[in-house]
Amino acid sequence: MAQSRSLALAAIIVIVIIVVAAALFLGGGQEQVSEIKIGVILPLSGRLAETGADLKNGIEFAIEEINAQGGIKACGGAKLTPVYGDSAGKPETGAAEAERLITQENVLALVGAYQSSVTKTASEVAERYQVPFVNPDSTSPALTKRGYKWFFRVTPHDEMFAAQQADFIDWLNQKYGLGLKTFAIIHEDTEFGSKVAEAWEKYFTQHGYQLVEKVSYHAATVTSLDSEVQKLKSKNPDILLAASYIQDAILLVQTMKAQGFAPKVFLAQDAGFINPSYVKQVGKDGWYIFSREVFSPDLIDKIPKLKEVNDKYRAKYGVDLNGNSARDYTGIWVLYYALEEACKKASPANPDEFKKALRDALANLELSQDQIIMPWRGVKFDENGQNILGQGLIVQMFEDGKYHVVYPEDFAVREPVVPFPAWGERS
């Protein structure tokens, strides 16, 4: 009898040891943590502070949802805790904030940083320290051509967008007989605008359109676009392509109106043109301008999760999700899914091991369309860290003061208004 009890006790001890070992291997037991700190770099001051606030809303809304549903379950319910760094819209400041967040705040991942020029420098720091960097919204194609192993971009980039935009102009010509032949480009001169301009020139030229003018300006200091618009107007392009941040986007529209410059098609590259403040300030002067987008509330009936998320977001912030807030919201959810996988392999209590596990989880992540709110096929990163399942939309602002999807046709809810009406033809 005594021997049987000893054997039973020994068996119980073995089982307990196995369970404890398994828990430790999976990040449980004493390896558990109560929070996972992530660094978020945004332009929270300076010329892009309004955009930064919009991005921050999307991020915080996603984090609130994640924490409310139980946090990172594979890490015992650890809560996501954002620690913010303000780039002030400056590349050197973004890099310094990345270093501070990594070395002083001990964050396990970085998210940001909106402007491609800031993302470029901040992600250089992350790569050096081997910290995963999730980029929801910067679109310079060069960012995923650097051979980095710790950088993951969720959004499509501007070469992907430019190719689609050239297809869109072909479609307008074929369907509406506009006879569009020439194009001009105006762009801010940082990493974002410069790379957009390169992509536009490449793809529109390949499609047979003639470039008649390309104008750049420095968004951080520009106070007038009079000479730039005069130069464009003198070339009389059929198509104007614009890459601007918020204040310069407003200034461009106001200057075009003042000079009576109205090309047949005015197509913007997202950024400042879709910011709620831009929409409010330009009013009816923004009607009939096209923009590239990655998101639209028009898609509520086409994307299963979108209506519920957008309704809650509007109730909290008083506005619909837009391309800025929706991309950053999506970026946090992408990070969440990777964190769940990483927590199965390592514990955040062992930062170096955990960051490697998180990098591997991002590299192997594959999300379906029904796991996100974007009009993409899902999220899957290639060997360069680029999501290869994304695509853009073309939207146009109508008389209700809202952008609506006009292309591609499977997502369209309105027929486009073309050509762009003269400024005096608006009621």
Give the tens place of pLDDT for each residue, 117-155. 999 999 999 999 999 999 999 988 999 999 999 999 999
Q: From residue 203, how far is each of 160, 193, 218, 344 by CA, in Å? A: 10, 15, 24, 44
Q: Is the pLDDT of residue 74 over 50?
A: yes
Burial call 4-28: b when 16+ CB within 10 Å, e when fewer: eeeeeeeeeeeeeeeeeeeeeebbb
Task: Give the pLDDT score at 3.
Answer: 54
Q: Is the pLDDT of residue 21 over 70?
A: no
pLDDT by residue (tens digit) across 386-404?
999 998 999 999 999 999 9
Q: Distance (Å, rounded) from C-alpha 33 to C-alpha 46? A: 36
Residue 406 is predicted with a pLDDT of: 97
CA distance 347 to 61: 25
Q: What is the pLDDT of residues 189-232, one digit of tens each?
A: 998 899 999 999 999 999 999 999 999 999 888 899 999 999 99
Predicted pLDDT of residue 425: 74
Residue with more model confidence, 197 or 7: 197
**Residue ranges of domains in the chain, CATH in brackets:** 32-156+301-380 (3.40.50.2300), 159-293+392-425 (3.40.50.2300)
Please tell me the distance from the alpha carbon of residue 98 to that of residue 121, in angstroms, as a whole number: 9
Q: Assign 426 a pLDDT band (cuts: 50, 70, 90).
A: low
Which of 23-27, 94-98, 124-128, 411-415 is least confident? 23-27
The string of pLDDT tens digits covering residues 326-355 is 999 999 999 999 999 999 999 999 999 999
349: number of Cβ within 10 Å:
13
Q: Which percentage of the chain shows pLDDT scores above 90?
A: 80
Sign of the Cα torsion 85, 190, 184, 47 reads positive
Q: Rounded mean pLDDT of 166-178?
A: 97
The two three-digit tokens of residue 308, written as one number? 């519920």
Q: For 30-58, what is each residue's pLDDT tens digit?
A: 367 999 999 999 999 998 899 999 999 99
